[in-house]
Amino acid sequence: MITRPDSESLADWVERTRQGIRDGRFPVRAFNDPAVAELEQERLFAKAWCFLAHESEVPEPGDYVTRYIGNNNIIVARDEHGDVHANLNMCRHRGNVMCKAEMGNASHFRCSYHGWTYKSSGELIGVPYMKEGYEGRLARKDWSLVSVRIESYEGLLFGCLDPEVEPLGDYLGDFRFYLDLYLKQGTEGVEVHGPPDHWIADTDWKICAENFAGDGYHTPVAHQWGFSLGYFPSSGSTHSQGWAVSVPGKGHGIGLGHSPNFPPFGGFPEELVEQMKQTLTPEQVEVFSRTRTAVGTVFPNLSFLMQPFSLVPGQAGVRFVTMRLYHPAGPGRMEMYSWCLVPKTASEEYKKEAYRAYTLAFGQAGTFEQDDFENWTKVTRSAESTMVRDLDFPYIMGMDSARDPEFPGPGHAVVPYVNDTNFRNLWSRWGDYLAGDQ
Ligand code: FES
Ligand code: FE
């Protein structure tokens, strides 16, 4: 399908798009275009650090999950020594998918086609008819599963297909300050509360990544019922308050929404607040204590949200954290993975309440989730229509915003929370990758 003027090459379109982002515009077509989706596979998902799993999903030797980096299916498994490995989920003999389950525990992986067998580490250990068939010509050590580089930050396991990639810590940069708000909510960090909700949606991963990079603009409209029925402690008149913080050059961004009269650390049990004061720096405590909603995206496709949600309308909300991964599954299509994260040291009662709040708001059938996907799928359909070929969206809020000098955290922090600054930074990084300029 030709989606650009016939005379313009894809490379020229990328350069024109990058200039547009600098000027506060972004092309509609980017949200549902086969050529763009293909370029993202080659230039972005094959190069960037991509989230695979949380360490608490594979706590024991033999535990595994299967996930994706771009269009590559990856087995993440813990070996008998406790080390976690990431390998391409493809048998080296004739390419069969090795592991067909999404998660489980296995001492080894045995291919269902001809029976080649691999350890959790990916090492090839078994080949049927080795002596009779291969007559000494096959060296098992040369035919292990294809390994993927893996690194972790505070329990988050990321993988990268590019062996030359910068260390994960450099890739995350100053965004680690904000990730800690989700990941250090207790002296022993956080864990997943059960397996992720996982579903397929007819929308583009970028629409979700952008929304969670701090789209406070949509909340009073798309989720208006939450305000008016008393599930969510904010109002349309004050919802713009707070900060939009981006990490320039990295693509990561977070919205930190603030509500007047919302108590510091509102919605957290007292014992967790005391633990956070130990695990977080004074600057992080200052930022966190004032935050009602923290909604951020790690470039390219991993997001977090923390907010209070009232289990009974009008009553004090319960804080929950959701982590979500938008796996691109073709133009205009993605697979969503959505987890609830809870502090390991929290009481069982709080964990259950937080999971309930998460499920009601952002589980697969969650109320906020339904609101969002209703809009996102429609945006995606619009983006493939013929008439939008040369249309742009405006990204001009906060074009001249200076950094708030009073804000104690790193990055480019601007007010108000309702702002396009984070999105220009996100798409600028996306443009770098698509141009091969990362
Ligand atoms: Fe796996 Fe042949 S494809 S053993
Ligand atoms: Fe939303």
Per mean pLDDT, which range of 177-191, 234-248, 413-427 is the poorest?
A: 234-248
Residue 111 Cβ contacting ligand 1 at under 6 Å:
yes
Which is nearest to 148 in space by CA: 158, 137, 135, 134? 158
Q: CATH number for 174-435: choose from 2.60.40.420, 3.30.9.10, 3.90.380.10, 2.60.40.10.
A: 3.90.380.10
pTM of this prediction? 0.96
Ligand showing the shortest atom-to-Cα distance for residue 219: 2
- Could you state, in order of their start, the residue ranges of all structural domains in the chain? 50-154, 174-435
Question: Does 245 sit in the ligand 1 pocket, CB within 6 Å?
Answer: no
The pick from 92, 94, 118 for probing ligand 1's pocket by mutation, whose C-beta has the most ligand atoms within 8 angstroms, reads 94
Centre of ligand 2 to C-alpha 113, Å, is 44
Give, rounded to a whole angstrom, the gap between the first and last alpha carbons of the chain.
27
Q: What is the pLDDT at residue 1? A: 44
**C-beta 129 within 6 A of ligand 1:** no
Instruction: Give the gyration radius of the chain's Cα atoms.
Output: 23
Residue 257 — very low, low, confident or very high, per pLDDT cuts 50/70/90? Answer: very high
What is the mean pLDDT of the segment spanning 325-333?
Answer: 96
Q: Is residue 99 in contact with ligand 1, taking CB distance under 6 Å?
A: no
| Alpha carbon distances (Å) from 294 to 96, 297, 319 | 42, 10, 11
Q: Which residue owns the Cα nearest ligand 1 atom 4?
A: 114
Residues 367-413 have pLDDT tens digits of 999 999 999 999 999 999 999 988 999 999 999 999 999 999 999 99
Question: Are 306 and 294 a contacting pair, CB within 8 Å?
Answer: yes
117 ligand 1 Cβ < 6 A: no
Choose between 398 and 7: higher pLDDT: 398
Q: Which ligand is nearest to the CA of 110?
A: 1
DSSP symbol at 292: S
Q: What is the pLDDT of residue 6?
A: 59
Question: How far is ligand 2, taken at its centre, from the CA of residue 21, in Å?
Answer: 23
pLDDT band at 194 (very low <50, low <70, confident <90, very high): very high
Q: How confident is residue 2, by pLDDT bands cut at 50, 70 and 90? A: very low
Per-residue pLDDT tens over the stretch 261-299:
889 998 999 999 999 999 999 999 999 999 999 999 999
pLDDT tens per residue across span 149-181: 999 999 999 999 999 999 999 999 999 999 999
Q: What is the distance in A from the centroid of ligand 2 to the CA of 406?
A: 28
Distance 383 CA to ligand 2 centre (A): 19
pLDDT tens string 27-48: 999 999 999 999 999 999 999 9
Element housing 50 (H / E): strand 50-54
Which residue's CA is the closest to the ligand 1 atom numbered 2?
A: 114
Q: Could you tell which of 98, 114, 118, 125 is best to mutate to test the pocket of ligand 1, judged by most ligand atoms within 8 Å of the CB? A: 114
Ligand 1 atom at minimal distance to the Cα of residue 91: 1
Q: What is the mean pLDDT of residues 108-132?
A: 98
Average pLDDT, the chain: 95
Residue 26: pLDDT band (50, 70, 90) is: very high
**Using CA atoms, how far apart are residues 209 and 221, in angstroms rounded to an integer?**
19
**Is residue 4 very low, low, confident or very high in pLDDT (cuts 50, 70, 90)?**
low
User: How far lies 281's CA from each of 78, 181, 263, 333, in Å?
Assistant: 32, 10, 20, 40
Instruction: Tell the residue nearest (CA) to atom 3 of ligand 1.
Output: 94
Q: Is 225 in the pocket of ligand 1 (CB under 6 A)?
A: no
Which atom in ligand 1 lies closest to the alpha carbon of residue 95?
Answer: 3
What does the buried/exposed string (b/e) look like for 256-266 if buried means 16 or more CB atoms within 10 Å of the residue's CB?
bbbbeebeebb
How close is the Cα of 26 to the center of ligand 2, in Å? 20
- Report the DSSP beta bridge partners of residue 85: 77
Question: Residues 58-77: what's their mean pLDDT?
Answer: 98
Ligand nearest to the CA of 111: 1
144 C-beta closer than 6 A to ligand 1 = no
Asked if 187 and 345 count as a contact pair (C-beta separation under 8 A), the reply is: yes
Homologous superfamily, domain 50-154: Rieske [2Fe-2S] iron-sulphur domain (2.102.10.10)
What integer is the mean pLDDT of 37-61? 98
